[in-house]
Amino acid sequence: MAIRLIVKEPDQVLHKVAKEVTKITPNVQKLLTDMAETMYDADGVGLAAPQVGILKRIIVVDVGDEHGLIELINPEIIDQEGEQLGPEGCLSIPGLNGEVRRAFKVTVKGLDRNGNEITITGTDLLARCFQHEIDHLNGVLFTDIAEKVYPVTNDRPVRE
């Protein structure tokens, strides 16, 4: 268990497509634990493996709802509905927020830390977070798709 260094833009690892995890090993499980600790330490609500310099399709998310900590290996969006436009920030792009259009409801499928397939449906912030983190796995940052980008002020904390 360790807090890892969060990679910052313009590091090229953030712009690359992460590779599928083909085998869940103790190292993958340790990475999940480290990523969660790193996310909590940075006061974020999501973190993707490329943000800690690892090009693997792994995300952790905790938006403070009834789902608690969600760990997903090889996550993919299998359904989406509706639309929302709202603010996003990113632990890898401190000092900036943006207005990003996302689906309002998404269903995501992936593997848990033990290799079991799980499917989770989220709305609002959880849906936004899933989409944001899966974008990271595809080398896409919120600034690539934001309709407007602006500096963070004290009344707009950076949240991912």
SS3 16: coil
The yes-or-no answer on residue 71 being catalytic is no
Known binding residues: 90, 132, 136
d(CA 25, CA 128): 29
Q: Which residues pair with 47 in a beta bridge?
A: 60
Backbone dihedral region of 82: left (phi > 0), alpha (psi from -120 to 50 degrees) or beta?
Answer: left
* Residue of 71, 88, 133, 160 marked active site: 133
d(CA 4, CA 156): 25
Known binding residues for Fe cation: 90, 132, 136
d(CA 87, CA 110): 26
Catalytic residues: 133
